[in-house]
């Protein structure tokens, strides 16, 4: 079980690093100010003009994708724990491990749902303060 948990932790870490890297790669490598970045002054025609609010905002989309992946992983772990429980054959240590897998999967789902709620709240607060979608045309 510890080997499997280590592998899952490595996969989650790799996903977090790749999403974090992808998120920072969308920011320009220039001398723009933070407000220029927030207002979308560096984007060309037809590109998303908002980072925090709007239907094409980049940061909420990336965060929602990460939360979706976490939710899917939690559901798979819940199913995996259920299968382990069924095939445990009454062995107490295997039953305990299966129950722990189910418990941690449920905790993961709850954390993902709460994370989604917190992210939506923060985006609504930050998005309200970005100037209402004004951007500079290039």
Among 105, 112, 99, residue whose Cα is nearest residue 76? 105
- Return d(Cα 135, Cα 132) in angstroms, integer: 9
Q: What is the pLDDT of residue 102?
A: 92
Q: What is the pLDDT of residue 6?
A: 75
Query: Is a pLDDT exceeding 70 seen at residue 56?
Result: no
User: Does 57 or 80 have the greater pLDDT score?
Assistant: 80
Place of tokens 């303060």: 129
Q: What is the mean pLDDT of residues 33-51?
A: 58
Q: What percent of the chain has pLDDT over 70?
A: 60
pTM of the predicted protein model: 0.52
Q: What pLDDT was estimated at residue 137? A: 44
The answer, yes or no, to whether residue 138 has pLDDT greater than 50, is: no
Q: Which of 67, 12, 41, 19 is nearest to 138 (CA)?
A: 41
Quickly state the pLDDT bin for 22 (edges 50, 70, 90): low
The pLDDT value recorded for residue 130 is: 54
Tell me the pLDDT tens digit for each residue of 77-100. 999 999 999 998 889 999 999 999
């Amino acid at each position: 079980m510890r080997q499997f948990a280590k592998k899952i932790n490595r996969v989650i870490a790799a996903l977090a690093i790749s999403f974090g890297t992808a998120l920072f790669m969308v920011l320009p490598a220039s001398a723009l100010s933070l407000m220029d970045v927030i207002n979308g002054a560096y984007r060309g025609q037809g590109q998303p003009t908002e980072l925090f609010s709007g239907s094409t905002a980049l940061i909420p989309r990336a965060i929602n994708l990460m939360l979706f992946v976490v939710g899917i992983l939690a559901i798979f772990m819940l199913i995996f724990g259920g299968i382990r429980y069924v095939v445990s054959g009454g062995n107490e240590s295997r039953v305990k491990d299966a129950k722990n897998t189910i418990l941690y999967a449920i905790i993961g789902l709850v954390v993902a749902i709460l994370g989604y709620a917190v992210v939506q709240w923060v985006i609504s607060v930050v998005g309200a303060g970005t100037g209402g979608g004004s951007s500079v045309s290039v």
